[in-house]
Amino acid sequence: MQIAAAANESLAHLSNNLIYASMAVYTLAFFAHIAEWIFGSRSKVARTAAALTNPGAASAAKAAAPAVQVRGKAGTAVLDKPKVVTRSAAGSRDVPDGPGAAGGTVQGDLYGRIAVSLTTLGFLLAAGGVVARAMSVERAPWGNMYEFSITFSTVAVGAYLLLLVLKKNVRWLGLFLVTTVLLDLGIATTVLYTDSDQLVPALKSYWLLIHVSTAIICGAVFYIGAAGAVMYLFRDSYEAKLVRGGKPGKFATSVMERFPSAASLDKFSYRINAAVFPLWTFTIIAGAIWAGDAWGRYWGWDPKEVWSFVTWVAYACYLHARATAGWKGRKAAYLALFAFACWIWNYYGVNILLSGKHSYAGV
């Protein structure tokens, strides 16, 4: 018994060390992303501004250019891909996507690749910390807010890296993601930290593995969708200012012209939220089934249950408005951010400030 306890304590220390090591690596990734944006600003990336401020010339150039250009190379025909323009809602702007944080420069791209590599290393260290925590407590590693937080940030980074592997245009998210992950881990290790311990009897169920794991996945993906909505609002304001003939500052121009177009960000946020919404529905159903097993009732208007349902309704309204009322753009982005704010409140606010059956696990 003493040997097992000593082994569990050693695993707990290993978990803590791996989490701190991941924070150190994420910090290096943060600075690499900063360097990517700084060196990327030196390139001449004014395509968006040119297309918006001189639509006549852009239209003429588009009409003159063939859809697919064919050029000879040692007797072999090579097809050049045409420039992709993401179309937004009817009557709104059609703007090409920016070249990304690196701005099309070799040096900026180098720092971007370093940042992604460091983010991958940080993810592996954090995942190791989560696994070591699970081994130290001999259960699923999300029985309290500390464990939930370190797992949540790990899943969020994992989802981002998966999108990169799938060749999605999301490297612009790297700086924002690493910054918030460092904030999440900082709060987890200082405010929310809880020593390894066993669960109360009501939590000892296989539904802990099913219900809470899906909640973590949903939160991580909803976070990425919310990040896309935030970036959309900034980019849309930038494009609208150019359309009105305004002249954004050099810093705003350097940053905003490298993001995907507002239409692309709007669609990205919508597709991410729509993809994970069914899983959030399952999460609530699984929680109700677990409540029936643990407490003898499926629904009791506990604060956690109420706010989980409020979050579901908010996302359902967002998706319904997009599909039926044609809510695209800023109104949809505000509604998506409101829904994610409900999810955040359900995690931090309900767990810390409100009392209910879900508060027995403590922080």
For residue 144, give the 3-state DSSP assignment: coil
Strands (E), the chain: 69-73, 76-80, 85-86, 95-96
The pLDDT-based confidence of 356 (bands split at 50, 70, 90) is low
Burial 91-124 (b: 16+ CB within 10 A, else e): ebbebbbbbbbbbbbebbbebbebbbebbbbbbb
| Residue 135: CB atoms within 10 Å | 18
Residues 6+ apart with CB under 8 A from 92: 263, 328, 329
pTM higher than 0.85 for the full model?
no
Q: What pLDDT digit, counting tens, does each position of 241-278 carry?
A: 998 888 888 888 889 999 999 999 999 999 999 999 99
Strands (E), 31-113: 69-73, 76-80, 85-86, 95-96
The pLDDT-based confidence of 138 (bands split at 50, 70, 90) is confident
pLDDT value for 202? 63
Q: How far is CA 28 from the centre of its chain?
A: 19
Whether 322 and 328 have beta carbons less than 8 Å apart is answered as yes
Mean pLDDT score, 181-208: 82
The pLDDT-based confidence of 4 (bands split at 50, 70, 90) is low
Residues 6+ apart with CB under 8 A from 65: 82
DSSP 359: G
DSSP 96: E
Separation of alpha carbons 103 and 42, rounded Å: 8
- Longest Cα–Cα distance of the chain, Å, equals 79
| Residue 199: CB atoms within 10 Å | 16
The H-or-E segment that residue 159 falls in is helix 145-165
Separation of alpha carbons 311 and 15, rounded Å: 32
